[in-house]
Chain A
Amino acid sequence: MTDSRTDLAVADAPPPAPPADQGSGKPEPERIRVRSWSWSEAAELGGVALAALSLVWLVYEQLTGLSGGLGFFLCWFATFLIMYWIVQRQRHDKMAARDRLVTVMIGGLAAVIFAALAVIIGYVIFRGYSTLRLHFFTVDQRHVGPLSPATAGGGLAAIVGSLEQVGLALLISVPLGVGTAVFLSEVKGKLGRPVRIFVEAMNGIPSILAAIFIYQIWLIEAHNQVSGFAVAMALSISMMPTVARTCEVVLRLVPGGLREGSLALGGLEWRMVRNVVLPTARTGIITAIVLGITRVVGAAAPALIDGGESNTVNWNPFHGPQDDLPYFVYRLVREPIKAENLRAWTGAMVLVGIVLVLFIVARMFSGTWHPLGWGRGLIDRSRRSRSPLIETDATSNGGSS
């Protein structure tokens, strides 16, 4: 069932071919496109949406005097679905109508989620864009006074802090997280169950709890000063379980036949994990790492508690207070000065931008997506063997028997 549907969907992709085949003289037989939507159906959808909107507006706003955007939207969506169902029943049997209704329902919900995301990102860009100058990335806030314009100074201190702290947190939590995942999925010892429960419990720790834990243990008990490293440790407490859990799920997806195949070749288990299991799951592991980053990159509490406050750039994460972007945003958006609030929005926009860049870079490395064709080349180069025979053949990669 699924297969045939996919095939039909693929058949949709090319534009309608000219009626006659080249040379053969026979007209191409009329193709049935089961999954395609005709204009009349699109018009139906639009008409129903409009009709539902008019009806709900009339009842909601004019007759009953209700108010509120969310209520209006929900009523409109429900009315839309009911009307769409009635319209579909005019032309189709119950099964086909139900199929279309569910398609529209799921499409609608997906559109709502997408719209929410677009609104959030769009709003951040809208608020931050006007005050973003190139020097936001190159200077810090040391010469900024209360009367400076919103475009004065920049977020270098926060950007450097965020990158260094997340980078350090990655160095701590990726080996630990991937190692834990390998233990859970490959070693399968008696400790597996307690470790998994522990990791799951750790996954639920709020970042502020991680922050005060590091504050107590590292800053108070061990007499250390606030630093970017302390923040990174707090971040890795949140990051590690995310990486470990996601990674474990991904490693479990590696077919058991590959493990058997490796061992049947006389392979050692650690070599099997390194050469077969981890490379096979590479895309998923990178996704796990990206999820780990996004879990912590917006956490303001660790910098607030363990990082200290610094308006000047501090390149050394092991010494002295270090700012980061979430804390920068948190601090400035609470200031009573308009220019500071605008800078906070710029910081938020840069934070979103950094996450986006990290996401694209990770996807490129995993080889699943390559906006400029870089990713594919990267993969081919890394897969190419050092052996001269294979090297030469790789360049003339094409002819098949």
Chain B
Amino acid sequence: MTAIDTTRPGSDAANKDGPSRLTAHGVHAWFGNHHVLADVNLDMTPLEVTALIGPSGCGKSTFLRLLNRMHELVPSATLAGHIELDEVDIYRGDLSATEVRRRIGMVFQKPNPFPAMSIAQNVLAGAKLGGIKLADRDATVERALTRAGLWNEVKNRLSMNGGALSGGQQQRLCIARALAIQPEVLLMDEPCSALDPTSTRRVEETIGEICSEVTVVIVTHNMQQAFRVSQQCAFFLATEGEPGHIVESGPTEKMFSEPDDQRTLDYVNGRFG
């Protein structure tokens, strides 16, 4: 059981000596015998937004799921290489999968609030599921919902079912749920692909606000979105029969204006993919 003091912002254990750094060295991934990701090296800059872009099936989501050990939930999935959080290998170190996932949160493509729980219970679900005692439940609920930009819309109906919210609100509820356990890194797997433009804008604003406290890694198919929300960018590509790999990564400005690789330029300008 871990106790978290949620009264002070950014007060969790790992944040006290600077933000944590997530890095990947020579990462490979397989599903059975199918090699889907080869030799990926990426340094996710702390307290910045890193966007993973690339055409479908190039391994972006697989890479994202490797980062918080969701990959291993697929029975045939295997991997190689090193993924380190604060220089501790998340697969080989003393960290359990549960601990890794608590420190590296995740928001999915499709909003998945728990239907049997109220809005408030959804926010507190991470603590409940992880067996974490919260010092002040109400403050946690309010703080997480505020950070996710949802507090004003739901503060009068916290006991209502989470499923009664609109799609965009549900997705922000899922972001609040992930933020409530104070992760150091937040992974987002195409969080806006099921949302309308207005909700997308709200979620993007939320990303802009939370990245002062958490490192964000976002997978997106939307070039404009990647340009708007991210400071760092990595372009994944998989050619026919070959596993996916990173073609190029770097500051978003550079990636979108003068990338080193012609394929990156073609992709961000919508010439393929």
A binding-site residues for B, Cβ under 8 Å: 255, 257-258, 260-268, 271-272, 275-276, 279-280, 282, 380, 383-385, 387-390, 393-394, 396-401
Contact B114 A271 (CB under 8 A): no
Interface residue? B138 (CB, 8 A): yes
Q: Label chain A's interface by main secondary structure.
A: helix
> What's the least CB distance linking A173 to chain B, in Å?
24
In the assembled complex, the Cα of A393 lies from the Cα of B155 at a distance in Å of: 8
B contact residues around A272 at 8 Å (CB): 129
Chain A residue nearest to B140 in the complex (CB): A387
Contact B120 A265 (CB under 8 A): no
Contact B181 A397 (CB under 8 A): no
Query: If the complex has contacts A387-B120, A390-B138, A401-B152, are A264 and B106 also in contact, measured as CB distance less than 8 A?
Result: yes
Contact A276 B108 (CB under 8 A): no
Of B110, B129, B141, B160, the residue contacting A271 (CB under 8 A) is B129
Interface residue? B195 (CB, 8 A): no
In the assembled complex, 8 residue pairs joining A and B whose CB atoms fall closer than 8 Å, in A order, are A263-B101, A267-B125, A268-B98, A282-B116, A383-B121, A387-B141, A390-B159, A393-B155
Query: If the complex has contacts A261-B112, A387-B138, are A397 and B73 also in contact, measured as CB distance less than 8 A?
Result: no
Q: Mark B102-115, 1 if CB is under 8 A from A, else 0.
A: 11011010101011
B contact residues around A262 at 8 Å (CB): 114, 125, 129
Interface residue? B153 (CB, 8 A): yes
Query: If the complex has contacts A258-B114, A260-B70, A400-B157, are A390 and B141 also in contact, measured as CB distance less than 8 A?
Result: yes
Indicate the member of A261, A275, A384, A401 with the most B CB atoms within 10 Å. Answer: A261
A contact residues around B98 at 8 Å (CB): 266-268
Q: Which B residues between 131 and 156 are near A, CB-CB below 8 angstroms?
A: 131, 137-138, 141-142, 152-156
> What's the least CB distance linking B108 to chain A, in Å?
6
Q: Which 3 pairs across A and B sit closest by C-beta, in order of nearness?
A: A266-B102, A267-B129, A279-B116
A contact residues around B178 at 8 Å (CB): 264-265
A contact residues around B112 at 8 Å (CB): 255, 257-258, 260-261
Interface residue? B53 (CB, 8 A): no
Query: If the complex has contacts A271-B129, A276-B129, A387-B138, are A265 and B156 also in contact, measured as CB distance less than 8 A?
Result: no
Contact B121 A385 (CB under 8 A): yes
Contact B181 A266 (CB under 8 A): yes
B contact residues around A266 at 8 Å (CB): 98-103, 126, 129-130, 181
Of A255, A260, A268, A390, the residue contacting B158 (CB under 8 A) is A390
In the assembled complex, the Cα of A11 lies from the Cα of B137 at a distance in Å of: 44
Of B106, B130, B160, the residue contacting A397 (CB under 8 A) is B160
Contact A401 B153 (CB under 8 A): yes
